[in-house]
Amino acid sequence: MSLPETELAVFMERLRESGIKLTHQRMEIFKEVASRMDHPDAASVYERVRERVPTISLDTVYRTLWMLKEAGLITTLGPAHDRLRFDANTAPHHHFVCTICGKTEDFYCDAFNSLNVPQEVNAIGVVERAQVELRGLCNACAKEETK
C-alpha cells in the first residue's frame, strides 16, 4: 500500500513537463497501480480505486492507464492493445513485439534456446518453455515516429 515518495514525485513531474493536468483521479489510479506487485487488469484497478473515489468511472481508469503507458510510467503485458493470437510454430523460437502496433515477428537464436532458469523460479512452478520477448519499435512504426 505504501508508495515511495520518489515514485509519486516522478509521476507528478512527468505529467507537469508534458502539460497533462494532475487530477485527483489520476493521482489515485497511479498510486493504486504502482503499489501493486501483481498485474492488475483495468477492472481490478477500478474496483479498488472506487473504494476511495466512489464516483470514478471505468472509462477514466482506462484512459489514465493508457496515458501512463504513453508516459513510460507503466507497461502492459501481452501483445499491445490487441486481441488473442495463435501460433502454430512448434519449433523453438522467440518474439519481437512492436510496442506501438503490436505486430509480433518470430526470430531464431540458438543462444536463447538454452537459457539457464534460475533456482528461484522453482518456487513458482514447473517451466515447460523459455522464450525471449524483445519489445521495441518495428521499422514501419519507427518511420511514422520520425515525422
Partner DNA sequence: TTATTAAACAGGAATCATTCTTATTTAGTA
Partner DNA sequence: TACTAAATAAGAATGATTCCTGTTTAATAA
Contact positions toward its own copies, by CB under 8 A? Answer: 33-34, 36-37, 39-42, 45, 65, 68-69, 73-79, 81-90, 95-96, 98-99, 104-109, 111-112, 115-118, 120-121, 124-139, 141-142
Let me know: does 14 contact 4? Beta carbons within 8 Å: no
The closest of 139, 128, 130, 52 to 101, measured between CA atoms, is 139
Task: Between 26 and 138, name the residue whose CB sits nearer to DNA.
Answer: 26
Torsion sign, CA atoms 97, 102, 84, 75:
positive
Dig out the grid coordinates for 37 from the structure. 506487485
- With CB cut-offs between 5 and 8 Å by kind, which of its own copies, DNA, none does residue 109 bind? its own copies
Let me know: does 45 contact 61? Beta carbons within 8 Å: yes
- With CB cut-offs between 5 and 8 Å by kind, which of its own copies, DNA, none does residue 60 bind? DNA
Would you state the torsion angle of the CA atoms of residues 27, 36, 116, 120, taken in this order, to the nearest 10 degrees? 150
- With CB cut-offs between 5 and 8 Å by kind, which of DNA, its own copies, none does residue 49 bind? none
- Interface residues with DNA (CB under 7 A) are 15-16, 20-26, 41-43, 53, 55-60, 62-64, 66, 81, 83-84
Please report how close the Cβ of residue 3 comes to DNA at its closest, in angstroms.
Answer: 18
